Amino acid sequence: MSSEAEPSPSGFGTDVPSDVEDYISANAGEPSLPWDIFGHVFDIVKNGNQAFRENRFEEAINCYSRANNIKPCDPIILANRCAAYIRISKFLKRLLASASEYRARTGLDPTTLAELALKDAEKLIDLRSNTEKAYILKAEALILLEKYEMARDVILSGLQVNPFSNYLQESFQNLERIQSNFTGMRSHRKAERSDDFDCTLCLKLLYKPVTTPCGHSFCRSCLFQSMDRGNKCPLCRTVLFISPRTCAISVTLNDIIQKNFPEEFAERKLENDQMTNFGVDLMPLFVMDVVLPFQKFPLHIFEPRYRLMVRRIMEGNRRMGMVIIDSSTGSIAEFACEVEITECEPLPDGRFYLEIESRRRFRIIRSRDQDGYRVAEIEWVQDTPPEGCEAREEELASNAAEYARSWIARGKRAARQDRRRLERLLGVEAMMPSLQDPERFSFWLASLSNRPPHERLDLLSLQDTKEVFYFSPICISDFMDTEYTGDCYIFERKSGVVKCNDESFWEPELYAERLELRSSERFGAAVY
């Protein structure tokens, strides 16, 4: 678990508390539990403590919650559950984006876990205001929520209880350092500007402010990033029924900010543009599957990190890269494909339904994490045919187009009783590129076959159009004559006979079924 984590700026070196308390029969001033109930609670807390010590924090939280239902507001149970919330929240905050590329992360997000920890810590202070641990837990929860001023006050209150606490003294010093860093980052701002114009989520000047029905204002992007994890106001927790499509910017507030703080507004605009317009050599990545150029299919986006990425893409050039995890290396593949979002339908709960078309190939030079998803530095990949081969490639494309049209016509006749399959074949035909661009046409032809991911990945790396044609279901090379057998086309070559290995590629009925299945599989893989 710890091997995938990175140090977090919100942490203070040592995880506190490092252990949980064992359960005792009664707390001071409380009546003892009946023996049978005490034994049951004791066993549950014991199981929770064991799970906590073995880093199975979700299981520990479940145990403590069951014990709390039997004996509410018990200080030991609350303290242990609060510690478990803090530990799992810290772990998720330190988790690299790549850790969730193999399987989707479910459960509560780090902010919600920190809020639950804060509630338990506040109850614990009400019950045990004279103990150092209660203040430590509350300060930890506030730091995870980045409420540093409140955490500072709690630490000072804890030092009044125990002035010699090494942990509280160290936490106070680290917190002062964090606050000084934030002050340094914001020192360029004019002193007369009030915090009323700051977003309470990003702690920066409001940019494209949105005012919620409950009266709170946030940056538009910050609000919808927060709503990826729940449709409630981040301040008052009022349920919000708004979506990016219907939510308008507060024009009056936006004008006030632009006129009174022009320099700071320009800096915020530049910062936002850098997040949404990645430039010609930067590409946000959606880790899913290998996509060949000139395909069209739907995607269903539900992971919070990819919701954020899609919103930023839609504010920019509407393009991202689709890449697969290379099974041979365990990391993202070297070659990928750019896709363009042609249709975007935000759903009421924050998810997105997308229609995308694949465009160009690129090679990933290096990648980095940005707000949970990957951004890569790339270089574009194009075919580099030998001199004098352009005319030959156009001839190959022309002959392949003739056979492809004939094959699609057979497919349409075979699927005329099935409207859905017929529509899919018509869609494939509509995507056929111009014959004046053999490279584009060769990839469209190759996409007609349902090849496994490793073969599609090999296709992306090819830089010879003739090789791509050879990989297509219609194998065309230095042919002299052709023969139609009813199942496939056989091309006589000087070196012998070239035949499609999988004759089912040539059955239009099977292709229509495969096309339908492949589309549904991609839709499922997109909710990865």
190 within a domain of the structure (yes/no): no
In 128-219, alpha helices (H): 132-144, 148-161, 166-185
* Greater pLDDT, 504 or 131: 131
Q: Is residue 217 part of a domain?
A: yes
- Reply yes or no on whether the pLDDT at 321 is more than 90: yes
One domain for residues 200 and 245: yes
Among 225, 254, 274, the domain boundary falls at: 274
Residues 147, 257 within the same domain:
no
Q: How confident is the model at residue 305 (pLDDT cuts 50, 70, 90)?
A: confident
Greater confidence (131 vs 472) lies with 131
* pLDDT value, residue 477: 36
pLDDT given for residue 492 in this prediction: 31
Looking at per-residue pLDDT, the higher value among 170 and 486 belongs to 170
Same-domain check for residues 116 and 233? no
Q: Which domain holds residue 206?
A: 195-274
CATH no. for residue 102?
1.25.40.10
Domain boundary among 185, 212, 233: 185
Is the peptide bond between 17 and the residue preceding it cis, with omega within 30 degrees of 0?
Answer: yes
How much is the pLDDT for 511?
42
Angle at CA of residue 186, ends 185 and 187, nearest 5°: 100
Model pLDDT, residue 101: 66
381-413 per-position pLDDT tens digit: 887 766 666 666 667 777 777 777 777 777 777
Looking up residue 334, the CATH number of its domain turns out to be: 2.30.130.40
pLDDT of residue 391: 65
> Over 80: is that where the pLDDT of 342 sits?
yes
Q: Are residues 65 and 9 in the same domain?
A: yes
Write down the pLDDT at residue 118: 92
The answer to whether residue 474 scores a pLDDT higher than 60 is no
Which of 134-138, 147-151, 373-377, 406-410 shows the lowest mean pLDDT across its residues? 406-410
The answer to whether 393 and 385 have CB atoms below 8 angstroms apart is yes
Indicate whether 163 and 226 sit together in one domain.
no
Q: What is the reported pLDDT for 393?
A: 66
**284 and 249 part of one domain:** no
User: Is the domain of 352 the same as that of 446?
Assistant: no
Tell me the backbone φ, ψ of residue 75, rounded to 5 degrees: -60, -40
Domain boundary among 240, 274, 308: 274
pLDDT number for residue 218? 92
Least confident of 40-54, 95-109, 249-263: 95-109
Residue 522 has pLDDT above 60, yes or no: no
pLDDT given at position 380: 87
- pLDDT band, very low/low/confident/very high, at 145 (cuts 50, 70, 90): confident
pLDDT surpassing 50 at residue 520: no
308 pLDDT tier (thresholds 50, 70, 90): confident
Give the pLDDT score at 102.
Answer: 64
Report the pLDDT value the prediction gives residue 210, as an integer from 0 to 100. 92
The most confident of 248-257, 418-427, 433-442, 506-515, by mean pLDDT:
248-257
Amino acid at 109: D
Residues 231 and 167 in one domain: no
Which CATH number characterizes residue 211's domain?
3.30.40.10
Residues 218 and 248 in one domain: yes
**pLDDT grade, residue 337 (50/70/90)?**
very high
Residue 112 has pLDDT above 50, yes or no: yes
Q: Which residues contact residue 493 at a Cβ distance below 8 angstroms, ignoring those fewer than 6 apart?
A: 477, 478, 479, 480
Which residues, other chains included, contact 141 with Cβ-Cβ below 8 Å and sequence gap of 6+? Answer: 82, 85, 86, 114, 115, 117, 118, 121
Cβ neighbours of 146 (radius 10 Å):
16
Is residue 103 located within the same domain as residue 10?
A: yes
- Averaged pLDDT score across all residues of the chain: 75
| Same domain for 306 and 225 | no
Backbone Cα Rg of the chain: 30
Same domain for 172 and 264? no
486 confidence band (pLDDT: 50, 70, 90): very low
- Nearest Cα residue to 484 out of 500, 472, 468: 500
Give the confidence band of 97 by pLDDT, cuts at 50, 70, 90.
Answer: low
* 158 vs 490, residue with greater confidence: 158
Q: How many domains is the chain built from?
A: 4
What pTM value is reported for the model? 0.45
**Of the candidate ranges 9-23, 53-67, 76-90, 134-148, the one whose mean pLDDT is the lowest:** 9-23
pLDDT at 376 over 80: yes
435 found inside a domain: yes
In a domain, 50, yes or no: yes
Distance in angstroms (rounded) separating the CA atoms of residues 338 and 291: 9
